[in-house]
Chain A
Amino acid sequence: MAYKHLLEIKELKTSFSTERGVVTAVDGVSFHVDAGETVGVVGESGCGKSVTAESILRLLDEKKTNYLGEICYQGTNLLALSIDQMQQIRGNEISMIFQDPMTSLNPVFTIGDQIAEAITQHQKCSKQDAFSRTVELLRRTGIPAPEQRVHEYPHELSGGMRQRAMIAMALACQPNLLIADEPTTALDVTIQAQILELMQELKQESQMGIILITHDLGVVAEVCTRVVVMYLGQVIEEADVETLFENPLHPYTQGLMKAVPTIDGDRKQKLHVIKGMVPSLHQIPQGCRFAPRCEYADSQCSQEPPQLHAISPKQKVRCWHAAKFMTQGEEHERHHLD
């Protein structure tokens, strides 16, 4: 193997030129995904998770978007490829599932037509072959009576079924990397669990890598092997899942964990909130980007931006005071592992 990781993002900087000037939505993001691994990307709305995902497939309007850095897929830099070469990668090598299964299928075609189209897009095969493979894919994703379902239109299927159809479509060409952009956010809890389980099963069968974008820490704990926490376009903490849940080092990660309601918690106690809102990308704080909302911030935090540094082999964090929280780790463990 000539390459180290299936996908390696190095110092990715995605900026948009808007009427109000250049806005950098993703600012120096680096992380990697290996085959057979599920990497969670976590953060509030507007922190650059989806833009990172769309940058990998270069789905953003290229006239208004400027990429810097590298996105290496099996050693090739995707950002340097031509549009035609990129079309060969999309769907075939890397595919994507979207948040809302209600709107991510074309309403005027049957799901069978759409999945078969995804197959014939990249592989030469007869219509009948494509069709029988479609039925097989739908069966693999757990859709009952796939022989009939292939002939149905998206509006005839429930949300869970549609998301299964989307997964079938994304897996049609056996990609090596699957990007799932909040795949379960629009679904109810029982269906969520089924879809996550399905993704895990399919991952084990084919050894593909998955990037799971979510704001749901429960989902992360369940399926991810490694987690990347993002805030305002930057990675602020990266760790494998056990380490992160045992010992979250960045105050923002700690806040996210405290904000998860527990079923056996004290009902009178108010849920923890991280004060304030994600600032606009037009007014990025000078020092640490989280400083204005951070309860531990001091003058250093508001003036000098911290770097992402490894605090242990399994954990990287972007915080001046990370070492201090390291010692508090045990206390957090008692609080947040139930």
Chain B
Amino acid sequence: MKVITERDVFSMLEIKREHRQRNIRRFWGNRFAVTGSAILLVIILLVWIAPFLTTYGPLEVDPKNRLQAPSSEHWFGTDNFGRDLFSRVLYGAQVSISVGFSVALVASFLGLVIGLLCAYYAILDHVLMRICDGLFAFPSILLAIAIVAAMGPMKSNVILALVIVYTPSVARVVRSVALVVREQIYIEALRSQGASAWRIIWVHMAPNSTSPLIIQTSYIFAASILTEAALSFLGAGIPAPDPSLGNILLDGKSVIFNAWWMTVFPGVFIMAMVLGLNLFGDGLRDLLDPRNSQTKK
């Protein structure tokens, strides 16, 4: 009988550490992932320290200084009520990120549950997938507007509407992967050991179906930031006077020829966030793809 010596344990830890280091190196070697996460980090940091960067509140009205161009006093200028645009854009970005993050989280979770159940139970699959087809048939913005219009423009309703819009696409992706996983021999082997359906779905199929989900989550994050901005721009999103990148754009639309800063800065912020998330998602896709892995077995 062999006893584990201190050296064995040491060498095991050594191997674990090497694996971790190799994964870190692979992350740094991926330009998309690095650029994407750098952009996101800068924005999150800016949003986080916003209260310290600006002395003006996002709702502070100053009619005397309406539509001021960017200056050392107001970095991004002021809007048509004299509110500081820098602070409004940062608080607006905060709203966007919190909406996007909540939607990504909830939609991914629901999508995972629905996708796995659909892959395992054929009858449920027929019912839920037809509902998804129905939801897919609507343009996503139109559907979101309808839901928000029915329930009233509030941040929580915007999140709910976007969850309803994006869950079907996650469910589709998870279902397609889980259908493949379900036919794997290890699932049949588990059944031959007397594992229950519950156990097979949640303990064994779920972890094998999540890698495309992680990528999908980052795309949904980006898409819901865009959709939220569009909703707010159309007046069906975050209600004024609370700032949101979309409703700042809406305010800026009427003065676009006199005050370019009111459309350019929130626009750039939306673009940067979406670009960062998409690059990050592409990077993750490459990193998680086992075919690109250097650690082939």
- Using a CB–CB cutoff of 8 Å, the interface residues on chain A facing chain B are 57, 59, 63, 86-92, 95-96, 98-100, 103-109, 117-118, 121-122, 139, 144-145, 147-148, 151, 155-156, 166, 169-170, 172
Contacts and interface: CB of A to CB of B under 8 A. Distances in A.
Interface of B: 1-4, 8, 12, 122, 184-186, 188-196, 203-204, 207-208, 297
A121 B194 contact: yes
Contacts of B207: 108
B122 A105 contact: no
A95 B195 CA distance: 12
B6 to A, nearest CB: 13
A70 to B, nearest CB: 20
Pairs A-B, 5 closest by C-beta atoms: A91-B193, A90-B194, A91-B194, A96-B192, A87-B194
Contacts of B203: 117
Given A107-B208, A144-B2, A145-B2, A169 B186 contact: no
A184 to B, nearest CB: 16
Nearest to A91: B193
> DSSP majority for the B interface?
helix
Contacts of A99: 185
Contact of A59 (B1, B184, B191): B191
A105 B185 CA distance: 8
A107 B294 CA distance: 18
Contacts of A151: 12
Nearest to B192: A96
A34 B58 CA distance: 82
A89 B194 CA distance: 7
20 contacts: A57-B192, A59-B191, A63-B122, A86-B194, A87-B195, A88-B194, A100-B185, A103-B184, A103-B186, A104-B186, A105-B186, A105-B189, A121-B195, A139-B1, A148-B4, A148-B8, A148-B12, A155-B297, A166-B189, A169-B193
A248 B250 CA distance: 88
Contact of A90 (B1, B186, B192): B192
Contacts of B191: 57, 59, 90
Given A88-B194, A98-B189, A100-B185, 12 more contacts: A57-B191, A63-B122, A87-B194, A87-B195, A90-B192, A91-B192, A98-B185, A103-B186, A106-B204, A107-B186, A118-B193, A148-B12
Nearest to A103: B185
Contacts of A155: 297
A106 B190 contact: yes
A148 B3 CA distance: 9
A169 to B, nearest CB: 7
Contacts of A172: 193
Nearest to A96: B192
B212 to A, nearest CB: 15
Q: Interface centre among B191, B203, B208, by most A CB within 10 Å?
A: B191
